Amino acid sequence: MSHQIYGDSEQIFGYSGLRVKLYYSASRLTTYLAHTFVEKVDPEKFEGVEPDEVIKPIAERIPPGYLTNLSDFSAALQKDASFKPFGEMKRRFKIQLEEGEEKTYEVYLCDISATGFLDYHERIQTFLLWYIDAASYIDVDDDKWRFFVTYEKYLVNGNPQYAFAGYTTVYEYYAYPANIRPRISQMLILPPFQRLGLGREMLDTIYTHYKDNAKVLDITVEDPSDNFARLRDLVDSKNCLKLDSFQSKKLLKGFSEAMVEEAKKKLKLNKRQVRRVYEILRLRVTDRSDKEAYRWYRLDIKNRLNVQYKKEDRDMEKLKKVLRPEEFAATMTVTSKDQRLESLERQYAELEEHYLHVLERLAGSDLS
């Protein structure tokens, strides 16, 4: 993701053996920035051509106060021992690694009123530049932001210490007349902590925090990536499996208003996401070797996908009534029947592949 710092080419001109060093301490995220190189282009020998700036593009995007002396950075590491997470601990969980080692993690909820957290968040959000494409910084002066921050907790000489592992931002939108609609904005898990289930635990922590709040209408997500969509579908499917309206016999009867009402009341899911979870869980209980059962499943999904084309037809009929024939002909965008069928098949195939991936992960998770 260095194109967000150095441009689309992700290249720095004018150096050989260049190394850019951007270090963070594990807890406080104390920052060290420097660079080394073997050779640098000499403008006098290259018709005045200057080498690219190395440090400035990064320095402009990270908070001031970063260290440039490695000895100072090494000395500052000692301060991590006294670090305490900001906010209120909402969840503690353990993860068993393949090699048998057990790790402990804690998720904390914080807002901008916590003393010192705004400065800490400034350092946290710099990770977005390297790990999330088209990332943007949020306006932290808005008190409707909530931050769910995950740390690894470990012992050093018997004393607890913390390592920042990831975080999620949630914005509490106002909803008429006196409600809120939390929207998940960004989630980041640092690479050393990925594929451990931290994203799932953090998302479940967010749900647990909001689901019993009577003022919360539902929980939404802002422009989810494909990876986050899979994570969300997994967590929502796992939670809905515990609901009465999502039991096997009821799933096979088709999508129902009871599913919408129960999932919204108990899990704060919106109707669109409830429908998606229904499709995933119905696929789970559909015998795909039974041609008739599988055909009915596919028809159910394709009927839902076909709604967009029916709307297109209605819109065209309305235009036909108010436009002259030549004007109407110029606005024609209706796809042919063959094009629609081809598009539906493609959309369905992509959805089923996504759903099967979610179900594979669901089968390997603890459903208790």
Counting as low any pLDDT under 50, the low residues of the chain are none
3-class secondary structure, 139? coil
Domain map of the chain by residue range? 3-79, 84-223, 225-368
Q: Note the pLDDT of residue 318.
A: 63
- Distance CA(20)–CA(34), nearest Å, equals 6
Q: Note the pLDDT of residue 319.
A: 59
Query: pTM value?
Result: 0.89
Q: Note the pLDDT of residue 332.
A: 57
What CATH homologous superfamily does 84-223 map to?
Gcn5-related N-acetyltransferase (GNAT) (3.40.630.30)
β-pairing, 39-40 with 15-16? Answer: antiparallel
Fold of domain 225-368 = Arc Repressor Mutant, subunit A (1.10.10)
Answer positive or negative: Cα dihedral of 229, 234, 237, 238.
negative
Q: Note the pLDDT of residue 338.
A: 77
Q: Note the pLDDT of residue 314.
A: 65
Q: Is 222 a catalytic residue?
A: yes
Q: Note the pLDDT of residue 53.
A: 92
Residue 98 per-residue DSSP state: T
Question: Of 39, 222, 342, 360, which is the active-site residue?
Answer: 222
Rounded to 10 deg, the angle between the 271-285 and 257-267 helix axes is 110
pLDDT tens digits, one per residue of 73-128: 999 999 999 999 999 999 999 999 888 899 999 999 999 999 999 999 999 999 99
3-class secondary structure, 103? strand
How many angstroms separate the most distant Cα atoms in the chain?
A: 83
Contact 184, 173 (CB under 8 A): no
3-class secondary structure, 275? helix
Q: Note the pLDDT of residue 222.
A: 93
What CATH homologous superfamily does 3-79 map to?
Histone acetyl transferase 1 (HAT1), N-terminal domain (3.90.360.10)
Q: Note the pLDDT of residue 167.
A: 98
Q: Note the pLDDT of residue 85.
A: 98
Q: Note the pLDDT of residue 67.
A: 98
